[in-house]
Chain A
Amino acid sequence: MKKNILGIFILLVAIFVITAIINPKFLNAYNMQNLIKWSSLYAVMSLGVAFVIITGGIDLSIGSVVGLVAVVLSICLKLEGMDPWSAIGIALILSLLIGLLHGILITKAKVQPFVVTLCGLLVYRSMGRWFTDNQSIGPMPMEEDAGYKNLEQIQHLDFVFSGKIAIGSFNLPTPAIFLLVLSIAAAIFLRRTIWGRYLFALGSNEDGTRYSGINTDRMKILAYVLCSFFAGMAGILFAFELDSVQPAQTGEFYELYAIAAAVLGGCSLRGGEGSVLGVVIAAAVIRLIYNSINMVGISTHLEFGILGLVILLGVIGDELIKKTVNRKQAVQTS
């Protein structure tokens, strides 16, 4: 395992072991399934923002994209009675277009990523509320809905996106399979393709990369498109997982979880650094903390406090490891 994700992995194991000692019920299959499920849902989103952070950018609109995609998907499936796979297609295309818009505004109109995506956060949230009159909606149609005629297909989709696959006596939540596929694809893209290397180069030194003849604008747009696509994918997974989409709340503040997971997982907000495995482990750490707090019986009011402290400690620990490794390397080379 690489040094830069060793710290976060130790953190994961430590919290896991401490919680299991305090409450052995933590280890039961039902709880493990839930933990895997929630970790996968948040990790998908976090992977997306990692692309943008690697290029030195930021995306604050992720939570609102999750919410809007979940709303649009639910409207298409439940109220419009649209063909279910087409509805999924529309939801994903919407997320791709949002990413494209962000990318174009950032590279061509030269608006700062923070501003573009902050405005996106506000606009998409508002759109979701407006589309639904701020009423809760879910992807599963009821008898009076136009989508009821497609109930069987939608139930099939529900299984695909939020079902459980029995592996012996263990039921593996399907979001874990989505995460597995997406993270392998992301890792191959970042580490094994020239485009992935360009993203790292862009994050480390944008001017240098541009002078090397690389079309940095195109790479940036690609990063934002991927980020929104992953957020859209998470929106679909959340919609089916919760069966309830609240236009004002679904996805709210998720960008912060995603960014926290990316940073805790080894991405530098200065750009040029990041690892898929680190981000996935970090997303799991965050969900593990939430689960542990409940399993151990700590007041829920302390959730954010503990989460904040753990992230801070994790990042400090990571920095210390990096410093020591660099020092050792310097000693060896001298």
Chain B
Amino acid sequence: MKIIYALGGAFLSLGLFFFAGCEGGGSSSKSDAPTFAYVTNGIDPFWDLCAAGVRIAEKEFGVNCEVLMPPKGVVDQKRMMEAMIAKGIDGVAVSPIDADNQTPFLNEVGRNTILITQDADAPKSDRLVYIGTNNYKAGRALGKLVKSAIPEGGEVMIFVGRLEQLNARQRRQGVIDELLGRSMQDLDKVKFDSVDSVNLTSEGSKYVIVDTRTDNFDKAKAKSNAEDSMTKYKNLKCMVGLFAYNPPACIDAIKEANKLGAIKVCGFDEQDALLQAIVEGHAHGTISQQPWEYGYESIKMLKSIYEGKQPENKYFELPFLVVDQSNVESFWAKKKEMAELGKQD
């Protein structure tokens, strides 16, 4: 008898969990409205802000949206999109993790529903449009920030989650090209310096990019990479963090080494710790992609395609914003406002 109670209790709680999840996890469903999926490439506060934009668009356009954040790379991203297709989703906006090799699968998704890419592109796939920042241009803007942070030149170190992603490579190359005074490259024909190049410099440039370290989204590793770089390069003048969590990790490491001010930090994205450091003068500036725009524009685009309006171009470029001490407070207020607006009812 005990077994029956135990198993019954187990299944009941499981069922409740499912029903609870149904009501709490999703949005208030509008039965006739189309449903769109917004698929990220991982879990990060950056994607929470994108999700805020999704929720704003969801209300504004009267559609249903699901935000999916794959915890473990390609395999989770694939199964989540498969489940969406099985559910009969009306459109998917995805940030592909490995664009080239995922192309056959993305095409399969494209055959079943409206497919657009956002944040990172899969140019060889049949996606209808790519919504994103020109990461190469943004990288160059970041390079300019580094130049203004250390106008006298010096050693620069780059930190990034992983370089398999095209957007990460483009950002990095933008920074390198800007610092070494190279000419502007076209986004679709960017030539990349080798991932393990060290001490990159050029004649006439005051800057040396000593190394690029990756951490595979491991925040602890990101910090230890920053610490190790200070140990290894005694004349390091600037740390450049290409993913959202990299600049705060660099700032932490610099703070603990009592080198605030001696080593400048320039970054990407807009984590609060970085914005706070910009306010306090411990970081020089950042490039914001205004993540909420990703979520908002993706849903807007999916709705428009769903209604039969084909996009004019394959590429919809979102503007980025350079944030430094002059505009950090107004930007931060905007970020808080957007996050608040995007919260679930």
Cα distance A7–B24 when bound, in Å? 29
Q: Find chain B residues with CB under 8 A from A300 CB.
A: 68-71, 80
Whether A250 lies near B74 (C-beta < 8 A) is yes
Greatest chain B CB density within 10 A among A7, A30, A290 is at: A30
Cα distance A225–B261 when bound, in Å? 55
Q: Find chain A residues with CB under 8 A from B147 CB.
A: none
Q: Find chain B residues with CB under 8 A from A31 CB.
A: 82-83, 86
Cα distance A301–B51 when bound, in Å? 14
Whether B18 lies near A34 (C-beta < 8 A) is no
Q: Which residues of A contact B (CB under 8 A)?
A: 7, 10-11, 14-15, 18-19, 22-23, 25-26, 28, 30-31, 34, 38, 133-138, 140, 142, 238, 242-246, 248-250, 252-253, 290-304, 306, 309-310, 313-314, 316-317, 320-321, 324
Q: What are 21 A-B pairs at a CB distance below 8 A?
A: A14-B11, A14-B15, A25-B88, A31-B82, A38-B79, A134-B164, A136-B164, A242-B74, A243-B102, A243-B105, A250-B75, A293-B21, A297-B22, A299-B25, A300-B70, A300-B71, A300-B80, A301-B69, A310-B14, A320-B7, A324-B3
How many pairs, one residue from A and one from B, have CB atoms within 8 Å of each other in the complex? 155
Min C-beta distance of A290 to chain B, whole Å: 6
Residue of B nearest to A294 (CB): B83
Whether B73 lies near A246 (C-beta < 8 A) is yes
Min C-beta distance of B316 to chain A, whole Å: 25
Min C-beta distance of B110 to chain A, whole Å: 15
Cα distance A320–B25 when bound, in Å? 33
Whether A313 lies near B73 (C-beta < 8 A) is no
Whether A18 lies near B18 (C-beta < 8 A) is yes
Whether A298 lies near B25 (C-beta < 8 A) is yes
Cα distance A140–B107 when bound, in Å? 15
Residue of B nearest to A321 (CB): B3
Residue of B nearest to A298 (CB): B21
The answer to the question of B307 belonging to the interface, with a C-beta cut-off of 8 Å to chain A, is: no
The answer to the question of B163 belonging to the interface, with a C-beta cut-off of 8 Å to chain A, is: yes
Min C-beta distance of A310 to chain B, whole Å: 7
With A30-B85, A246-B73 in contact, do A296 and B22 touch (Cβ < 8 Å)?
yes
With A297-B66, A317-B6 in contact, do A244 and B18 touch (Cβ < 8 Å)?
no
Whether A298 lies near B101 (C-beta < 8 A) is no
The answer to the question of B311 belonging to the interface, with a C-beta cut-off of 8 Å to chain A, is: no
Cα distance A248–B195 when bound, in Å? 15
Whether B214 lies near A243 (C-beta < 8 A) is no
Q: Find chain B residues with CB under 8 A from A295 CB.
A: 83, 86-87
With A134-B195, A136-B101 in contact, do A294 and B68 touch (Cβ < 8 Å)?
yes
Residues 1-45 of B, flagged 1 when their CB comes within 8 A of A and 0 if not, give 011001100110111011101101110000000000000000100
Whether A34 lies near B14 (C-beta < 8 A) is no
